Structure 1
Amino acid sequence: MGIRVICLLLIWVIALPLMASLQSRWAGTWFMQYKPWPHITAIDMKLRIADPTAEMLYPAKLELIYGSFRGEYELLLVKKNEEQLAIGRNKYPVLEEPFGLGPWMMYLNGVLEYQEGEDGTEMVLKRLWLDNFGIFMRGLYDNEFYTNTKVFLRDFMYREDIALRRVDGTPWTHPDTWRIVNTDTIYYGVYDPIVSEGQVLSLTIQDEERYDRDTVTIVHNGNVLADRIPLEQAIALDIITLDSGENYLAFFADNYGDMPPNTANFIIGTPGDSGQLYGFNFSAHANAYATVMVARFQYQPVAGETSQSGAASTSVPDVPRINSQEPPIQKMPTYVKGRRDQRIGQLKASTRTLMMEIRDEQMEDGDIISLEVNGAVITERMEVNRQGRRFGVSLQRGRNRIVFRAENLGRIPPNTAVLIIHADGKEQKFHLSTDFTRNNVLDVVFDKQD
């Protein structure tokens, strides 16, 4: 018996440091010094990381010191996988003197990759590049006394290798860590919380420009739902099941495709009588050239059960709500003619006649589709080409369902097209991607009063 106890104690003594190491892989203080030439002053960079929320959101503080310059910035790091933390776009300057760095902080984007080498543990920056997109440091020549200092700092953040080494495993603690995650008046990357009446969310992903090989990753409460999938394939993921309490959905831009930046738009629908559509868009101004953005959903299956975290708060920017007065969406996808109906969007129209244009914005590959409105066939087996084809559709009062059905997969699956809607003097674009397992559905609500 005594030997067994001793063995258990030895196992515990050995396992405890290993467990602590796994739990504290990211939290602590990381430091690097950049000094390419012996005769110049070094740039000191220090990153303090707090304990995570939901094992994925890490509040952090970045410190930069170079000569007379000192900058301190609060930011959010989001766990993408076991080896990488994505860097939030917005770095809030707590202190900057004697000048500010302005938009050049955007170059500290991408992910910090955890690496263990002979010289110790490091986090190495893997940037998403922003070359030649007109992002300049404001006030570079406002005071010529600081010009060289500004240029050196700018070039360091823009192009130099950044590898931070762990110097302390004690997590950063500060009252600001709560608001970095919960977002009050400052947007660090987490949107306002949304209460969902049901457990299942719908998800549609659109490319706001064109399919240019943008890829994305989606993580829900630390679990990877989609890993580096191209946007033209991403819309196959259309259901998210919430956990009880707080749910954090992190959307990661893996790259900027052929036409920077990444322009994925994640449209999420909540079920129930008060169901709404919410957009989380990398093309939005607050997320331009971002690496990550986080949606926050709260779900309680039992009335009166308390949430796992604090109360809702206000933030900037607000969660983009799409057509806030629209009818509730369905809790689960329906199946028509053996195929799943996947909704690509919903809009309102105040005119009875809707003009639609369907064309191929990519390579013509012989895609053929059929179109139904409220169960009536409008066109059957139409080939999609670059010239496009226009239709006038008469709407009935209330909800109208427009269904796009693939009749083949063309030469390059899946069947793809772009849909342009002209209504109420506005133009809206939707990307279609269908196959033999799913149709695309657009819901149009006609609410003109007599």
Structure 2
Amino acid sequence: MFKKILIANRGEIALRIIRTCKEMGIKTVAVYSTADKESLHVKFADEAVCIGPPASKDSYLSMPNLIAACEITNADAIHPGYGFLSENAEFSRICAENGIKFIGASPEMINKMGDKATAKDTMKKAGVPCVPGSDGLLESAEQGRKIAAKIKYPVMLKATAGGGGRGMRVINSDEEFQKAWDDARTESKAAFGNDGMYLEKFVEEPRHIEIQVVGDQFGHVCHLSERDCSIQRRHQKLVEESPSPFMTDALREKMGAAAIKGASSIGYEGVGTIEFLVDKNRDFYFMEMNTRIQVEHPVTEEVVAYDLIKEQIKVAAGIPISGKNYLPQLHAMECRINAEDPRHGFRPTPGKITTLHIPGGHGVRVDTHVYAGYTIPPNYDSMIAKLITVAQSREECIVKMKRALSEFVVEGVKTTIPFHLALMDNEDFKAGNFTTKFLETFDFSVL
């Protein structure tokens, strides 16, 4: 087992990892930018190292600074959390070259799954259902138009290096294709330095349902059931729950088997998520694989009583998994509390938190790194907390979430709490009647 782990991340996920490490008797090293000097993860780690100025590229994305922090603290492993360098094959390789265990996927696994076009090809070969579309990257708009005519409109143009909805366009007709092609490539080049595009059939009335998987160094892979992440804005998740209200036992068995097949095909080691789009007929299609821990992992932890961070560390240390699949025993839901104004297009609202009261009680969990007096920096993601409730049924879970949200007091900045409160009262949401397009018709005037 590792003696000391450096956490190459910030905020609530860094604090989450520190907590499990302490329970496992492992020393921790926090890294921080100058903007995060007062963050809780810095205060609760055994050691802390400043790795640069506020800009991510000069701190949390600086591989030389992170490796140097490992060397000066004698850390023998790095946990990358999510985001930043968690799915960076080059960083995984550099860690190995420096004798530091990267608690995540190998460079080969990341390369096979990190690029969406390559991932789709890998999954097709493994026999996992994929959305019809281009085989690999498009060479031209003309090639894309021919494929679109074959698989029929509407289609979705996607950036191979994309994320957060950037470099994506829905195209409804041949006349729209050229402009969408030009706009998506320009946006992707600016955001990711890569304008590679691929094309897929646009799935109608889609649900975003993902399967949590764990694989070890001995070829064993299991799944820990599903999470429904369909409530999202601009392709970024706001609410996640398990089990999905759209799921059936037969569908769960088929999707779980497909996820295991996909992860096994690359010899996957670690905790990961296979993400699917599920259409109105409950046909499912591979979307992407995240070779890291995800923001919404507490939802799974609560319904199957399983510490996913602990499992990540154990797998990285060469400890085999049990190999059995886990089914949800309870219902859990997570609301992302972001420093954003939902009344104005979820505009970020960084600033100082003057008052903070965190809810509690049976079946309520809050993962956060903020406190009264903390200043939310403008340099990073706007999420300041994750509120998770767990109960015997979905109905009870929603009631508990509404109660917990009403107790959650954040003053000094606007947050997404009013949106979540309104969502818990929405009849379609309560009935489980929603798709990834839900927010496009949501009545924000009720906030």
Question: In which range does the TM-score fall when normalised by the shorter chain?
Answer: under 0.3
Q: What TM-score does the superposition give when structure 1 sets the normalisation length?
A: 0.23
* Greater strand share, structure number: 1
**TM-score with structure 2 setting the length:** 0.24
Is the radius of gyration larger for structure 1 or structure 2? Answer: 1
